[in-house]
Amino acid sequence: MNSPLVTILLPVYNGEKTIKATVESLLSQTFTDFELLLGIDGTEDASKDIALAFNDSRIKVIEHPENLGLANNLNKIIKHASPNSQYFAMAEQDDIYVPERLEWQIEVMSNHTDVGLVSGIVEYTGVEKNLMFPGLLLRGEQFPQVEELFKFLYINQLKVVNTCMLWRRSVHEDNSFKFRNTYGNFNVDWDFILRFCLKSKIHGIPKKLVTMNRVIASDSVTASDASGQYKASKALLADMKNEFSQIISERDYKKALKVQHKIELGSYSKPKIVLMSIVNFIKYRDSYFTDYLFKKLKVYFTKNNKD
C-alpha cells in the first residue's frame, strides 16, 4: 500500500463488545486513502483476535502486553504512522462513524489551509432522548479561535468532540505535541485540545460525524469513575491557570469552577443535591443551583404522589 493520506488512531482496551462495529464503520468510509492503527493496550479480552480477523491491508495491529493507559497508548501507536501521511484522525472503540466523516473533514482541510484541526457533531444514544453535541455547531455558529477558544474551552469544558477530530500532522510534529497522562486516563483530550488551539485554528463541521451509545460508553474506565473525573477536572483547571496565567484570570478560574460544580450535581445522592445546591447558590449567587434543586424536588414529589 502506498503511503496513505490519513492515519487513524484507535486505542483499544477490553473493547470486544464494540470494536467490530467501530472498525466496520471506519472501513466503510467514502474516503479510502487511510491506514487504521489499532493499539491493543494490555487487553484481557478478545479485542486483539477481533482486530486481526479483519482482512484489510489498511489495518495495523500494535499490541502492548502491559496496559499503558490512554495517553501512552496513543503516543506509542502514533509512532507507527506511515512516514508520509499528512493527517491524524482519532477514533474510539465504542463509537460508530458516519460514512462521510473523513471525506467531509479532508474537504475542509483542503479548502482551509489555515485550519489545523477539524471536528464535528456527535449524537448520543442510549438515553431517553437522543442528544446532539455541541450546541454551538447545532446553532450554526463556529468556534472562536486561539486564546478566545482556549478560554471558552477552559471555562465551559471541552466543546470539541474529540472522538472524531482530525488534525494536521505538521502542526502536531512542529509543536512536539504529546498526549499527556497528567491525570491518568482522565482529560487526555481536554488537555490536548487546549494546547492545540493556541497553535492553530480549529473548525467545526455542522454535521453529525459520529454516534456514541451512552450506555455502552458508561462501561469505560473513565466514565465509570465520576468522582475520579471530577477530581481530575478540578486539578486541570488549577494547573492550566498556573501554566497559562497570562490568559486565564482569577475570574475565569472561578467561572470554570462554577461550571464544574454544575456538572457534579448530576451525580450526587438526593441529600447531597440539596446540600450542594444551597452551598453553591450561596457561593456563586447563581439561580441555576436553586432551579436545579427545585426541578429535582418536583420530580421526586410527583413520582411519590403517583406511587
Which three cell numbers mark 219?
Answer: 462501561
Closest CA relative to residue 123, chosen from 209, 21, 29:
209
Q: What is the pLDDT of residue 307?
A: 55
Q: Is residue 1 part of a domain?
A: no
Outline where 96-249 has alpha helix (H): 101-111, 135-138, 146-156, 169-174, 188-197, 214-217, 226-243
Which three cell numbers mark 104?
Answer: 467531509
Q: Is residue 40 part of a domain?
A: yes
- Among the candidates 176, 200, 217, a domain finishes at 217
The boundaries of the domain holding residue 173 are: 6-217
Are both 191 and 293 inside the same structural domain?
no
Q: Residue 88 maps to which CATH number?
A: 3.90.550.10
Q: Name the helix (H) or strand (E) containing 261.
A: helix 250-265
Are both 128 and 247 inside the same structural domain?
no
Half-sphere exposure of residue 77: CA atoms within 13 angstroms, side-chain side: 29
Which amino acid is it at 218?
S
Q: What is the pLDDT of residue 298?
A: 80
Are both 29 and 107 inside the same structural domain?
yes
Q: What is the pLDDT of residue 160?
A: 94
Q: Is residue 55 part of a domain?
A: yes
Are both 61 and 170 inside the same structural domain?
yes
One DSSP character per residue, 42-96 reads S-SSSHHHHHHT---TTEEEEEESS---HHHHHHHHHTTS-TT--EEEE--TTEE
- Among the candidates 217, 240, 267, a domain finishes at 217
Q: Is residue 196 part of a domain?
A: yes
What percent of the chain lies above the pLDDT cut of 70? 95
Q: Is residue 258 part of a domain?
A: yes
Model pTM greater than 0.85? yes
- Count of domains observed in the chain: 2
Are both 43 and 187 inside the same structural domain?
yes
- Among the candidates 217, 248, 268, a domain finishes at 217
Q: What is the pLDDT of residue 185?
A: 94
Are both 171 and 281 inside the same structural domain?
no
How open is the CA angle 90-60-16, to the nearest 5 degrees? 70
The answer for residues whose C-beta is within 8 angstroms of residue 182's C-beta and 6 or more apart is 191, 235, 236, 239
Q: Which residues of the chain have pLDDT under 70?
A: 1, 216-224, 303-307
Are both 206 and 265 inside the same structural domain?
no
Are both 213 and 238 inside the same structural domain?
no
